[in-house]
Amino acid sequence: MLWIIYILNYILLMYVIRKIPKEKEKNFWLKVTFLYLVSIITLNINILPIPIGLIIAFSVVDKEKTINKSIKKIVLLFGLVYFILTIVVPPIEIKDILTYNELHKEISRFEDVHSIHIYDDTAPIQKEIRKYYDSDSSLYLQFITWVLNQRGIEIVNKEWLEEAYSRDNLNFYWSSIQIDGLTRHVYIRFKDGSGEYFGIFKKENDGSRYYLKTVIEHSGIEDGIYPTIFP
C-alpha cells in the first residue's frame, strides 16, 4: 500500500512543480527526484521512526545560495507528507490484497451476508476450534465447534459433541469440499433456517497445517445451488 502512496505522491509532486515558475538549473529534475528520494528515508529507533532523510535534505536546501529553494522546500513538504502517511496508514501486503480479492469473489456467491470473520494462522481462535479435534482430517468438526461457539451453544466435552453430532441432535446439514491442495470449504446450514455458515480453511504450503481463514454468515447461496449433501 505504501509503495502506491509513494508513487502517487511523487507523480503529484512532479505535476505541482511543472506548474511553478523556476530558475534555470542544470539537472534540475534529477536533483528534485534525488531530493525526494532522500527526504523519505527514515530511521527506526525502538520502533520510533525518525525522518533522518528530511533532516539531511532540509540542511542541504536551507543553504542561502540554493537555486530554486522554494521549489525544493515543496519537495521536502511532499517528503514530510509521505513520512506522516507511513505512520498513519497501516501496511498492506500483496498477499492481503489477494485475500481481499478472494473474499470479494466468495461474498458475491451469497444473497445476504450478515457477518464476515477473517483470521490468520496465529489467531487464538485456531487453538479454540482445535480443542477437541486437532487434525486436518477433521476440519468440518473444527468448523462445527466454531459455529456452536458463535451461536452460544455450550460444548460440554468431546464426547458430548460426538454424541450430539452422531445422533443429529445439532439439527444441521454440513458439507466439506476440497477446492485444491491448499484450500478446503466447509458449509453448515441449520435445518430450521436459523443460520448458514461458510468457512474457508487454508494452509500456506503442502507441509503446513490448515487453519480457519474466513467465515461468512449468510442467508443463502445466490444461484440456489448448494453442495450435494444439502437437500
Same domain? For 207 and 173 the reply is yes
Residue 227 lies in a domain: no
Residue 223 lies in a domain: no
Task: Supply the pLDDT for residue 184.
Answer: 92
Residue 208 lies in a domain: yes
Same domain? For 122 and 203 the reply is yes
User: DSSP for the chain?
Assistant: -HHHHHHHHHHHHHHHHHTS-----TTHHHHHHHHHHHHT--EEETTEEE-HHHHHHHHHHTSTT-TTHHHHHHHHHHHHHHHHHHHHSPP--HHHHHHHHHHHHHHTTBS-EEEEEE--TTSHHHHHHTSS--SGGGHHHHHHHHHHHHTT-----HHHHHHHHHTTTT-EEEEEEEEETTEEEEEEEETTSS-EEEEEEE-SSTTS--EEEEEEEES-BTT----TT--
pLDDT above 80: residue 44: no
Give residue-wise pLDDT tens across range 140-180. Answer: 899 999 999 999 888 888 888 888 777 677 888 888 889 88
Residue after which a domain boundary falls, among 88, 115, 146: 88
How sure is the predictor about 69, in pLDDT bands with cuts at 50, 70 and 90?
Answer: confident
The number of residues in the chain equals 231
Give residue-wise pLDDT tens across range 72-125. Answer: 889 989 988 888 887 877 655 555 555 666 777 777 778 788 888 989 899 999
How sure is the predictor about 230, in pLDDT bands with cuts at 50, 70 and 90?
Answer: very low
Same domain? For 121 and 214 the reply is yes
Same domain? For 53 and 153 the reply is no
Same domain? For 98 and 76 the reply is no
Residue after which a domain boundary falls, among 56, 88, 120: 88
Same domain? For 140 and 211 the reply is yes
Same domain? For 73 and 103 the reply is no
Query: Which is more confident, 75 or 48?
Result: 75
Domain membership of residue 39 as a residue range: 2-88
Full-model pTM: 0.57
Same domain? For 56 and 144 the reply is no
Mean pLDDT computed over 37-55: 82
Query: Which is more confident, 59 or 201?
Result: 201
Mean pLDDT computed over 23-51: 84
Decide: residue 66, CB within 10 A, 0-12 exposed, 13-18 middle, 19+ buried.
middle
Total domains in the chain come to: 2
Query: Which is more confident, 22 or 210?
Result: 210
Same domain? For 100 and 14 the reply is no
Q: At CB < 8 A and 24+ separation, what contacts does 85-88 make?
A: 85/2, 85/5, 85/9, 86/2, 86/42, 86/49, 87/49
Same domain? For 101 and 206 the reply is yes
Pick from 13-22, 42-51, 129-138: least confident: 42-51
Q: Find the helix packing angle between 69-88 and 52-61, rounded to 10°.
A: 170
How many CA atoms within 13 Å lie on the side-chain side of 43?
9
Tell me which residue of 208, 213, 205, 207 sits closest to 143, measured CA to CA: 213
Query: Which is more confident, 172 or 209?
Result: 209
Residue after which a domain boundary falls, among 88, 109, 129: 88
Same domain? For 81 and 105 the reply is no
Same domain? For 122 and 105 the reply is yes
Cα 166 to chain centroid, rounded: 37
How many CA atoms within 13 Å lie on the side-chain side of 35?
26
How sure is the predictor about 58, in pLDDT bands with cuts at 50, 70 and 90?
Answer: confident
